[in-house]
Structure 1
């Protein structure tokens, strides 16, 4: 079982990396930079397992120079969408791109003037059609016989959005001195402070 899972990971990652569209990532980067220049903000949302990806990506972006806010995908239509202003960017994550609760949230946010960066495995998904920029996080197999519990889909969503975070980080010319301002704690912060004092 372990060996077949390992091979599945390697195969699916190779396929997924091949389907990542660098042009779409560049468009997402430019949308975020322009939104910030106009005074807007970035929010990240998802339902189920993608909500955990959303929390991580919001934290990663914030720590590398792009202040970002987690938006609860179900609470958004019960008042929490008030955190999103017209002109803000919302990164929405869904493996299928058809999760009804998330689509309802995205339709609400679009009606309120938000711009959407959608992340799903299909370019023809409803989420992709609702998005201003669509990012492909394609997986065919999750790594087990059921092929239902999210495993590899979560991994690929993270990789796609990590690539976006790198583009933004490079655009901001992030330095260790800048990074330690936002991450002074833990082993990472300690190593950066020691590096500064050398």
Structure 2
């Protein structure tokens, strides 16, 4: 069974990712950069949130941004409406991730954050969604097929969300002129840190 289905899944996944990469909107990514720069000039911060699998993406992206010159914080998608939105101040930027853009829990979180004066960068595969319409900047991260026969469990969509936010992190990193010495300050450990020290 695996021998027959795995190549099909991998081919589907490869096709979806290739089509998504070809569709990435650089203009929107640059607008998201500008929104973050505007917040940082006023000492605002960046937070990343999501529900379910996108919630796990938010943890990775906040860590990636922090290590490449843009300090970012995880905001728990459901705890936000039970007090955790207190970590977000007026003028902060929140990156909100949702494949459907219609998840009820995330709607409540976004409504709370906007009411408290936060700016929203929405990331979704649904251009007609609540999240898209509620965002200050929208980054499309959509696929037609998740890659498997059920087309339900998030697989390709998770990769799309990750890729578009990795692209945002690269744009921010280059705009801020991050060099190896600065990167080493935030990532001194492990083989990565060692390789930078040896190369400097």
TM above 0.5, one fold? yes
Q: Which residue, 46, 51, 72 being the options, matches 2:76?
A: 72
CA contact under 8 A between 1:119 and 1:135: conserved in structure 2?
Answer: yes
Equivalent residue for 1:172?
Answer: 176
Off by >4 Å, runs of 4+ in structure 1:
none
Q: Which moves more between the two structures, 52-61 or 6-15?
A: 6-15
Rounded Cα–Cα distance in structure 2 between residues aligned with 1:123 and 1:141: 16
Q: How many residues were matched structurally? A: 196
SS at match of 1:69: strand
Matched, 1:82 2:86: yes
Q: Which residue, 28, 32, 36 being the options, matches 1:28?
A: 32
Equivalent residue for 1:53?
Answer: 57
Matched, 1:5 2:12: no
CA contact under 8 A between 1:29 and 1:167: conserved in structure 2?
Answer: yes
Rounded Cα–Cα distance in structure 2 between residues aligned with 1:38 and 1:99: 31
SS at match of 1:143: coil
CA contact under 8 A between 1:19 and 1:138: conserved in structure 2?
Answer: no
What TM-score do the two structures reach when normalised by structure 2? 0.96
Rounded Cα–Cα distance in structure 1 between residues aligned with 2:61 and 2:74: 9
SS at match of 2:38: helix
Deviation at 1:59, TM superposition (A): 0.1
Equivalent residue for 2:47?
Answer: 43
Q: Which runs of 5+ in 1 are unaligned?
A: none
Equivalent residue for 1:124?
Answer: 128
Instruction: Tell me the C-alpha RMSD between the 2 structures.
Output: 0.7
Deviation at 1:19, TM superposition (A): 2.5
Rounded Cα–Cα distance in structure 2 between residues aligned with 1:164 and 1:194: 28
Rounded Cα–Cα distance in structure 2 between residues aligned with 1:48 and 1:101: 10
Q: Which runs of 5+ in 2 are unaligned?
A: none
CA contact under 8 A between 1:42 and 1:91: conserved in structure 2?
Answer: yes
Rounded Cα–Cα distance in structure 2 between residues aligned with 1:55 and 1:178: 22
What TM-score do the two structures reach when normalised by structure 1? 0.97
